[in-house]
Amino acid sequence: MERDAKVYVAGHRGLVGSALVRALRGEGFSNLLLRTRQELDLCRQEAVERFFREERPDYVFLAAAKVGGIGANSACGGDFILQNLLIQTHVLDCARSFGTRKLLFLGSSCIYPKFAPQPIREESFLDGKLEPTNEPYAVAKIAGVVAARALARQYGCPMVSVMPTNLYGPGDNFDLETSHVLPALIRRFHEAAEVQAPSVTLWGTGTPRREFLHVDDLARACLLVMERYEGEGILNVGTGEDLPIRDLAELVARETGYGGRILWDPYRPDGTPRKVLDVERMKALGWEPRIGLEEGVRETVRWYRESLRG
């Protein structure tokens, strides 16, 4: 990738998109194409076509998506599948039509079957039933992966797909109605510490195991894939290590200074019992994560508290 090439980061204000912008600027890329949702609505085909016709981006990182945790997926499944299908379809089609040299599609580890063998290898794609609580979002992401692969085969336009594990870091969504588990825990325990609440009750049993990757490590992986990977297969991006949600909650409580009791509500959904990715393909490209979970959570807590102070 030439450092003066036109690089479009779709979704540059989100968790992943903002990390990609940081990584690209850090590597000397000077011609980034960035548009807010108000400036470019990716759900509107004519707006996306006009943008691609006028700007002709050389490279595209498709990080724009409607995302959320178990609660948001359960309550707004229709929005999750339709909006993501629209975004993906418009950007993929225009990248193919207007001469984009390469596109990287950001998928999600939720594309894999609920009971896939652990750690999950890329070969488990389309090999079983999905986790019901996020099925609409997962189906949309599956469609994006298949579409990117099919367009690359039919038209010869390079499109690659990466499947990140659970992400966290600066710029995350801390809204309790729509956030993922780690930012939700940070907010819950921060607020409980502020008022010295005697206890905090969390969803589920705390026994499901999850893997967490700092978003800056993902951004480095995406740049590496864009520059070095020419295959059509998907690539997992994660740490290859997981822990119980109960342990994660205790880590977040420590980093936020919360000393009360942690209670669990087993009548709330747990989701997939375990999800950890096999990341040998990415390691073969020369990538490994650099930011440990404890360090990353500490940094994210600090960022969250600074953001509250404005």
Q: Which residues are catalytic?
A: 137
Residue 13 assigned to a binding site: yes
Residue 176 assigned to a binding site: no
The rounded distance, in Å, linking the Cα atoms of 208 and 213 is 17
Q: Which two tokens stand for residue 1?
A: 């990738």
Residue 37 assigned to a binding site: no
Diameter of the chain by CA atoms?
60
Q: How many CB atoms lie within 10 A of CB 11?
A: 24
Residue 15 assigned to a binding site: yes
Residue 243 assigned to a binding site: no
The rounded distance, in Å, linking the Cα atoms of 235 and 10 is 20
Residue 14 assigned to a binding site: yes
Closest CA to 209 of 244, 251, 238, 180: 244
Residue 96 assigned to a binding site: no
3-state secondary structure of 230: coil
Contact 85, 63 (CB under 8 A): no
Q: Which alpha helices (DSSP H) does the chain contain, by range?
A: 15-26, 45-55, 70-75, 77-97, 135-155, 181-195, 215-228, 245-256, 280-284, 293-308
Which residues pair with residue 10 across a beta bridge? 62
Q: Are strands 32-33 and 261-265 parallel, antiparallel or unpaired?
A: unpaired
Residue 107 assigned to a binding site: yes
Residue 296 assigned to a binding site: no
Residue 204 assigned to a binding site: no
Residue 235 assigned to a binding site: no
Residue 26 assigned to a binding site: no
The rounded distance, in Å, linking the Cα atoms of 257 and 190 is 8
Residue 198 assigned to a binding site: no
Residue 77 assigned to a binding site: no
Closest CA to 261 of 249, 270, 275: 249
The rounded distance, in Å, linking the Cα atoms of 164 and 114 is 16
Residue 216 assigned to a binding site: no
Annotated binding site for NADP(+): 11-17, 106-109, 141, 164-167, 180
Annotated binding site: 11-17, 106-109, 141, 164-167, 180, 188, 203, 210, 270
Annotated binding site for substrate: 188, 203, 210, 270
